[in-house]
Amino acid sequence: MSRARWLAVPAVLLATWAYAQSAPPPPAPAGPHPFFAVHKVLTSPRCMNCHPQGDAPLQFDQSKPHAMGISRAIDDVGMSCATCHQVVQYDFPHAPPGAPNWHLPPEDMRMVFEGQTVQSLCEQLRDPAKNGGKTLDEVLHHVSHDPLVLWGWNPGPGRTTPPLSHDTFVGEMKRWVDMQGACPEDTRPFVPAPPMPIAAPAAETPAATDAPATDTPAADTPATDTPATDTPAAQP
Ligand code: HEC
Ligand code: HEC
CA-nearest residue for atom 14, ligand 2, is 105
Q: Domain map of the chain by residue range?
A: 29-54+104-192
Question: Is 90 exceeded by the pLDDT of residue 17?
Answer: no
C-alpha R_g of the chain: 22
CA-nearest residue for atom 41, ligand 1, is 81
**Spacing, Cα 72 to ligand 2 middle (Å):** 15
**Spacing, Cα 168 to ligand 1 middle (Å):** 27
User: What's the average model confidence in pLDDT over 146-163?
Assistant: 96
Rounded to 5 degrees, φ, ψ at 58 are: -110, 165
**Spacing, Cα 79 to ligand 2 middle (Å):** 21
The reported pLDDT for the residue numbered 83 is 95
Count the helices and strands in the chain (H runs, E runs).
Answer: 7, 2
* Closest CA relative to residue 102, chosen from 34, 181, 46: 46
Identify the DSSP state of 101. T
Q: Please list, in sequence order, all residues whose beta carbon lies within 8 angstroms of the beta carbon of residue 39, skipping any fewer than 6 positions away.
A: 116, 118, 121, 122, 203
Give the three-class secondary structure for 116. coil
Rounded to 5 degrees, φ, ψ at 26 are: -65, 140
Give the tens place of pLDDT for each residue, 177-214: 999 999 999 888 888 766 665 334 444 444 434 444 44
Q: Which residue has the higher pLDDT, 58 or 3?
A: 58
**Amino acid present at 2:** S
**Spacing, Cα 177 to ligand 2 middle (Å):** 17
For the chain, give the percent of residues with pLDDT over 90.
64
CA-nearest residue for atom 16, ligand 2, is 105
CA 152/CA 166 separation, integer angstroms: 9
Ligand 2 near 116 CB (within 6 A): no
CA-nearest residue for atom 43, ligand 2, is 50
What is the number of the ligand 2 atom nearest to the C-alpha of 131?
26
Give the tens place of pLDDT for each residue, 29-40: 568 999 999 999
Ligand 2 near 140 CB (within 6 A): no
CB burial readout 109-130, b (16+ within 10 A) else e = ebbbbbbbbbbbbbebbbeeee
Give the helix/strand (H/E) hosting 199: none
**Spacing, Cα 47 to ligand 2 middle (Å):** 7
Distances (CA, A) of 188 to 39, 120, 142: 13, 10, 27
CA-nearest residue for atom 19, ligand 2, is 105
User: What's the average model confidence in pLDDT over 154-161?
Assistant: 95
Contact present, 114 and 53 (Cβ < 8 Å): yes
CA-nearest residue for atom 23, ligand 1, is 59
CA 182/CA 24 separation, integer angstroms: 12
